[in-house]
A and B are shown apart, each in its own frame.
Chain A
Amino acid sequence: MKNTEQINQLLHLADNALIIGHRNSEWCGHGPILEQDIAISNIALDYIGQARNFYQYAATCINGNATDTKPATEDSLAYLRDVRDFKNHLITELPNGDWAQTNLRIFLFSTYQYFLYQQLQQDADAQIGAIAEKSLKEVTYHVRWAGDWVIRLGDGTEESKARMMNAVDYLWPYTGELFLDTPTSIQQQWLQKVTAVFEEAGLVIPTNTWAQKGGKEGNHTEHLGYILAEMQYIQRAYPNSEW
């Protein structure tokens, strides 16, 4: 039996994976070269898979509590909740921007997930631990792939460096939110890894620590509504339709 707070935490983990997965999937067919197109589409697939695992478990927990005749499913949680019900961090819903911004976002966010999942592996709830254990292996590859791009572009041409610096300025205020309710050790480990990659990329960690926040409480940027409109359209227009 899980309380509302625990179920919201599960939905938060699921929503994070679904929304960043959906954003990455927007690159499918538009990647700069074929190999990178395939890579980012695979990363998107990993995230959607992680989202499915968390949604399936959240649905089981919700149904275990409720007397409702209409049980929750992974699909109802992904396709039939509205903007204010989504609990993802704001950084996951921001637009892809260019290749620099896309990769910096994946790097910053998957590094956070890497240390978070490491901790969740020991969660008192064995199913959360199992999903974290599985996801961690995938996220490790995401950190490495996106980190390589941050270095390559940050330490690249004048233009690639300028684009990466713009991405840092744009995304950094959204990183503070990640650590509002996680142990400080996760933030320290995250900052250590990010600092190491930024140094190699010739990028500077911004000194501005002001953080944009509210995603977990359902207060989103204007971008999430457009994502949901696209993602949920078919289920809303043709309820219960299946492939």
Chain B
Amino acid sequence: MESTNQQHIWQVLQTVHDPEIPVLSIVDMGIVRAVEINSTEVIITITPTYSGCPAMDMISMQIRMALLEAGYKNIVLKQILSPAWTTDWITQEGKDQLKAYGIAAPVGKSADAIFLTELTIECPQCNSTKTELVSQFGSTACKALYKCNDCKEPFDYFKCH
């Protein structure tokens, strides 16, 4: 059973955004794994999207700031790696927000298919499926760069991971 305080902390965390994708809260992104409160500390457990994600240090700092502003003290941030973050952790609301922002959301479930397979990606601008992969690595490690052959717009695809 979550305490009122815990629910309040989750609400505060909803206001913290990924610096690379400012429309998405870290909760919808699926990187907050646990919120615990004991007699002396507030413990937030987060998981990185990618091992080398440079946003993690900044996100940790923002979580601390947001909770301090909301009146919490003795905030402890823990990082865990397992179970590994996958795009399945992004909430449906998060996926809708990604699309509205112009980033195609990951298609389907993350699979352990050996060496990945080609997918049909829908253009977030005009919904055409006539799209083409430009590069498997886009503006950040978590995105690939595509272009739409109908509306001619390039776009980022949040790749399955």
CA distance A144 to B82 in the complex (A): 24
Q: Please state if A53 and B51 are interface contacts (CB–CB under 8 Å).
A: yes
Looking at the assembled complex, report how far the CB atom of A32 sits from the nearest CB atom of chain B, in whole angstroms.
Answer: 12
> B interface, by DSSP: helix, strand, loop or mixed?
loop
Q: Please state if A134 and B51 are interface contacts (CB–CB under 8 Å).
A: yes
Does any Cβ of B come within 8 Å of A235's Cβ? no
> What residues of A have a CB within 8 angstroms of the CB of B137 in the complex?
35, 38-39, 42-43, 141, 145
Does any Cβ of B come within 8 Å of A138's Cβ? yes
Q: Please state if B52 and A133 are interface contacts (CB–CB under 8 Å).
A: no
Q: A45-B141, A133-B84, A134-B81 are in contact. Are A141 and B52 (CB under 8 A)?
A: no
> What residues of B have a CB within 8 angstroms of the CB of A36 in the complex?
135
> What residues of A have a CB within 8 angstroms of the CB of B83 in the complex?
133
> What residues of A have a CB within 8 angstroms of the CB of B140 in the complex?
42
Name which residue of chain A comes closest to B87, CB basis: A137
Does any Cβ of B come within 8 Å of A205's Cβ? no
Q: Please state if B81 and A49 are interface contacts (CB–CB under 8 Å).
A: no
- Listed by A's residue number, 23 A-B pairs whose Cβ atoms lie within 8 Å are A35-B135, A35-B145, A38-B137, A38-B138, A38-B139, A39-B136, A39-B137, A43-B137, A45-B54, A49-B50, A49-B51, A49-B52, A52-B51, A53-B51, A126-B82, A127-B81, A133-B84, A134-B48, A134-B82, A138-B141, A140-B115, A141-B137, A144-B136
